[in-house]
Amino acid sequence: MKYNIVKGFIKKLLREGLINESKFEYQVRDIGGGDVYYKRKVGSKIWDFIEQDEFNAKSNKGNIVKYKK
């Protein structure tokens, strides 16, 4: 019985987006020659380059990380 309760709770969290391994954070940096766009999986330390189109389509106020020099 406890297994079903935990399983249901996890499913609810996944539906609500509170647990989602495919969530990404986005960042834009001006490194001197123009803007460069990045994304990384939440919790990762490694940033990947992306195109401006992907950044514009998928980033929002809640998933943008401020660049710290």
Domain definitions of the chain by residue range: 21-69
Reported for 59-63, long-range contacts at CB under 8 A and 24+ positions apart, including other chains, are 59/26, 63/23, 63/24, 63/25, 63/26
Model confidence, pTM: 0.66
Q: Would you mind telling me the total number of residues written for the chain in this entry?
A: 69
User: 30 or 3: whose pLDDT is higher?
Assistant: 30
Question: How far from chain centre, in Å, is Cα 68?
Answer: 17
| Residue 58 Cα distances to 4, 29, 36, 69, angstroms | 34, 16, 15, 24
For residue 18, pLDDT over 60 is answered with no
Instruction: For residue 63, name the pLDDT band (cuts at 50, 70, 90).
Output: very high
Q: What is the predicted pLDDT for the residue at 51?
A: 97
For residue 34, pLDDT over 60 is answered with yes
Give the C-alpha separation, 46 to 39, whole Å.
Answer: 9
